[in-house]
């Protein structure tokens, strides 16, 4: 009887190992959202409407980059103002408060008043102490290089970013002079990426060369800058995840009387872009989760391989203590 049982055991199949429990999904932080606010003089009030609609729908940018008018709104937003506070500031803003004309410089705006206004609004904090990471983009006059200010005097950086050539005096910072960032980066998508953004929402309010003759000196200067930066701007905008374009192209660059309409156009454009923003964020998060799962699976497989090899390595080491031949050969095969 015992022989029969032994024979049955010998001929039986080896039991399958228990299935490995499924790995829990890795924790993937949400994408870091960047907001790139473009230049466009008085049309920049549209940025407030965009921010207002984004936040009302639970989309809160983590980092902010601004060029020219976008740097003004961006600095105040990064300092901690909510959209309603921004709107209150916009409605109450007296244009004369930020326009300091110097006759002996050819009637150019000096820009010190704008610098002091911004510094007052942000509590005189430098850029690195604002609540959100912030970058103001300007153009180095001597070389034409794009310069991204991420630390230092907030108002001064905004003034440099907003110094429209022919309208504002260039701003001297250190040994260089700076003018409007719209010359090289009309919508600062790349600056938002530099701040660590995974997903960039760009707001384009820049003027386009439409074939119509611009009105007034500021209109001429504004269109000239648009022509210079248009090709560069198109290339940079292509690197954004979503581009919002408020319908303010026919607004004059100095038309402060239409600020409420500009804010409303920003709200409407952002509302229309919400499905694209949400879809893009979901797609990015799904891809990041898949990448994290793949990394986790590789790390788990490597750990299992090391664990499986460990008993053989220990047996080899134990055998080497009494087998002179194995001591000479070593245990490289099982290490």
Catalytic-labelled residue, pool 62, 68, 198, 207: 68
Distances (CA, A) of 289 to 34, 166, 240: 20, 50, 21
According to DSSP, residue 168 is labeled B
Which residues is 287 bridged to in the sheet?
A: none
270 C-beta neighbours (distance < 10 Å), count: 27
State yes or no: is 68 an active-site residue. yes
Whether residue 64 contacts residue 277, with contact meaning beta carbons closer than 8 Å, is answered with no
CA-CA distance, 33 to 241, in Å (whole number)? 10
Distance from first CA to last CA of the chain, Å, rounded? 46
Which element (helix H / strand E) includes 135? strand 134-140
Q: Is the sign of the CA dihedral 160, 190, 34, 90 positive or negative? A: positive
Catalytic-labelled residue, pool 71, 163, 180, 204: 180
141 C-beta neighbours (distance < 10 Å), count: 18
CA-CA distance, 259 to 44, in Å (whole number)? 9
SS3 30: coil
Q: Is the sign of the CA dihedral 239, 240, 245, 251 positive or negative? A: negative
Closest CA to 26 of 252, 291, 301: 291
Q: How many residues does the chain have?
A: 335
Active-site amino acid positions: 68, 180
């Amino acid at each position: 009887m015992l022989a029969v049982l032994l024979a049955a055991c010998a001929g039986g199949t080896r039991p399958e190992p228990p299935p490995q429990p499924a790995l829990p999904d890795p924790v993937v932080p949400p994408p870091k959202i960047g907001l790139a606010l473009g230049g466009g003089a008085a049309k920049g009030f549209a940025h407030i409407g965009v921010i207002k609609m984004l936040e009302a729908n639970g989309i809160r940018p983590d980092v902010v980059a601004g060029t020219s008018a976008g740097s003004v709104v961006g600095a105040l937003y990064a300092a901690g103002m909510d959209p309603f506070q921004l709107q209150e500031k916009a409605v109450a803003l007296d244009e004369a408060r930020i326009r300091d004309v110097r006759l002996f410089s050819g009637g150019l705006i000096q820009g010190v008043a704008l610098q002091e206004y911004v510094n007052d609004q942000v509590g005189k904090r430098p850029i690195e102490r604002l609540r959100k990471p912030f970058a103001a983009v300007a153009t180095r006059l001597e070389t034409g290089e794009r310069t991204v200010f991420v630390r230092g005097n907030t108002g001064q950086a905004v003034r440099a970013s907003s110094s429209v050539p022919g309208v504002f005096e260039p701003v001297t910072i250190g040994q260089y002079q700076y003018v409007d960032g719209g010359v090289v980066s009309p919508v600062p998508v790349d600056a938002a990426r530099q701040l660590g953004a995974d997903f960039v929402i760009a707001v384009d309010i820049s003027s386009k060369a439409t074939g119509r003759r611009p009105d007034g000196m500021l209109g001429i200067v504004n269109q000239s800058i648009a022509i210079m930066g248009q090709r560069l701007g198109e290339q940079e905008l292509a690197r954004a995840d979503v581009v919002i374009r408020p319908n303010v192209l026919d607004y004059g660059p100095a038309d402060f009387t239409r600020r409420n309409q500009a804010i409303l156009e920003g709200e409407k454009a952002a509302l229309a872009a919400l499905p694209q923003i949400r879809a893009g964020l979901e797609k990015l998060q799904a891809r990041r989760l898949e990448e994290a799962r793949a990394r986790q699976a590789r790390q788990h497989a490597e750990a299992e391989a090391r664990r499986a090899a460990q008993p053989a390595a220990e047996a080899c080491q134990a055998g080497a203590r009494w087998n002179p031949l194995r001591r000479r050969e070593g245990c490289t095969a099982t290490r």
